[in-house]
Amino acid sequence: MSTSKYFAQYPSFPSGSSIPIADIPTLYLAKLQAGSDEESLRLYEACRQHGFMLLDLRNSVQGEALLEDGERMFALLEATLTLGQDTLNRYACDPPRDLMGYKRAGVLKTDDGKNDAIDVYTLGQDDILGTVPPRENPEPIESHRGQCQKFIAHAHVIVASILNHLDKHLDLPQGTLAGLCALEKPSATAMRMLLSPAQPADDDRRINFGGHTDIGIITLLFNIVGGLQILPAGANNIDVNWHYIQPEEGCALINIGDTLTEWTGGLLRSCLHRVISPPGDQAQFARRSLAYLVRAEKNATVQRIKGGHVITPLGEGAEEDTRTVDAWATWRARQIMNGELKPQTRGGE
Ligand SMILES: O=C(O)CCC(=O)C(=O)O
Ligand SMILES: [Fe+2]
C-alpha cells in the first residue's frame, strides 16, 4: 500500500523533467472531514477538470485505518496472484457476463492491438459482505475474508464522505449519491487486485492494461510503482499525450467513473486512463495495484439525476435512458469488445 514501507522497496519514480507527469491536485481527507469549504470546492473542481486526484489519507483516523488495511490487501494480492496459473484458472471470470474472479494476462487487446499484460483478480463486495451467497475464491482470500471486509468498510466510509461533498456542490439532498451505492445493497462494486510482471529489458513501453474509463461511480486506487497514465481531455490518443500519475506515499488515487458523468449530465469528468510499464528503473519490478471500484446499486438507472439547480434537466423531447446501471454497463462492455465504441474521456463541461 501507499506507505513508506512499500515505497522503500522500489527505486523512486523518475523526476518530472524526464517524463510527462499529470498535474492533478492532492486533496486532504482530514480537511474534507473537518468540513473545510475551500477543500470541498477544490474537490468539486478536480472532479470536473481532471476526474482524477490524489487523496492524502494521513491525519485522519479513518484514512490511517484504510492505509493499514491497504497494506494487508497488498500482501493478500501477492499471495493470491502468485498461486500459479493452474490454480488461478479454476477461478476464471467470464466477461462481459461475469467479471468476478481471475482474468489472466494476455486475453484482452490493448490500444496498440497487442495483448494486455496484467493479471487481475476481482472480488465482489456482495460476496465479501455476504449480501449474496458466497462464491469460492482462492484459499488466501477465503482465509482473509475478515480483512477484506475491513478494507471495504473503511474504503466505503471515505468514498461516502467524498460523495457527500459532491451532493453539496450538485445541489442534491445530503446522502443522495452515497444512498445510490449503500454497502448493504446488491451491486457490482468490487475490489480488484492487479499484477503486471517486470518489464522485459528489450521492450521499453508496453501497454499492460489498455485505455479505458471506469464504468462505475468512483474508484479508489492504491499503487506504489508508476505506470498509470491519463490522457488529458481533448488530447489526441498518441503516446506523447499520455501523462503519468505519480504515486505518492500516504495517498490513494480517486477517479470519477462513467456513471457519475451520466448522472450529472456530463458535469463530472470520467477520464481515459491506462497502465503501461513502469517508468525508469521501476520497470525492472513487478507492478501491483489495488482498486476499490464503486458501482451503483443494482436497481439504479443511468438516468440523469433530477432536482437541484446544478444538474441541467434533459432538453425537451430528449429521451431518458432508463436502463439499469448493470444493463448499461454490459451493453457498453460489449460495444467496446466488438470495437463499436472507443472509450474516451467524457464529461467535465
Ligand atoms: O493499476 C492501476 O493503476 C489502474 C487500474 C485501473 O485502471 C482499473 O482497475 O480500472
Ligand atoms: Fe481503471
Closest CA to 245 of 271, 216, 206: 271
Mean pLDDT of 320-332: 91
Ligand nearest to the CA of 247: 1
Q: Decide which of 115 and 156 is more confident.
A: 156
Is residue 191 within 6 Å of ligand 1 at its C-beta?
Answer: no
Is residue 77 within 6 Å of ligand 1 at its C-beta?
Answer: no
Instruction: State residue 136's pLDDT score.
Output: 94
Mean pLDDT of 22-50: 97
Instruction: State residue 87's pLDDT score.
Output: 95
Is residue 283 within 6 Å of ligand 1 at its C-beta?
Answer: no
Query: What are the beta bridge partners of residue 288?
Result: 195
Pairing of strands 52-56, 26-28: parallel
Instruction: State residue 167's pLDDT score.
Output: 98
| CA–CA separation, 255 and 85 (whole Å) | 31
Mean pLDDT of 225-253: 93
Distance 316 CA to ligand 1 centre (A): 38
Closest CA to 324 of 220, 219, 180, 184: 180
Distance 324 CA to ligand 1 centre (A): 24
Ligand nearest to the CA of 343: 2
245 CA closest ligand 1 atom index: 3
Instruction: State residue 36's pLDDT score.
Output: 98
| Architecture of the 4-337 domain | Sandwich (2.60)
Closest-CA residue, ligand 1 atom 1, reads 289
Instruction: State residue 335's pLDDT score.
Output: 85
- Position 220 pLDDT exceeds 60: yes
pLDDT band at 250 (very low <50, low <70, confident <90, very high): very high
Of 100, 194, 206, best ligand 1 pocket probe by most atoms within 8 Å of the beta carbon: 194
Torsion of Cα atoms, 297 then 183 then 295 then 133, to 10°: -80
pLDDT band at 104 (very low <50, low <70, confident <90, very high): confident
Is residue 291 within 6 Å of ligand 1 at its C-beta?
Answer: yes
pLDDT band at 4 (very low <50, low <70, confident <90, very high): confident
What's the pTM value of the predicted model, to 2 decimals? 0.96
Instruction: State residue 202's pLDDT score.
Output: 64
273 CA closest ligand 1 atom index: 7
Instruction: State residue 2's pLDDT score.
Output: 63
Distance 273 CA to ligand 1 centre (A): 8
pLDDT band at 203 (very low <50, low <70, confident <90, very high): low
- Please give the mean pLDDT across all residues of the chain: 92
223 CA closest ligand 1 atom index: 3
Residue with cell 464503486: 294
3-class secondary structure, 101: strand
Ligand nearest to the CA of 287: 1
- Position 1 pLDDT exceeds 60: no
Structure confidence by residue, pLDDT tens digits, 63-94: 999 999 999 999 999 999 999 999 999 999 98
Of 77, 108, 221, 294, best ligand 1 pocket probe by most atoms within 8 Å of the beta carbon: 221
Instruction: State residue 208's pLDDT score.
Output: 85
Domain ranges of the chain: 4-337
Closest-CA residue, ligand 1 atom 3, reads 228
Structure confidence by residue, pLDDT tens digits, 117-131: 889 999 999 999 999
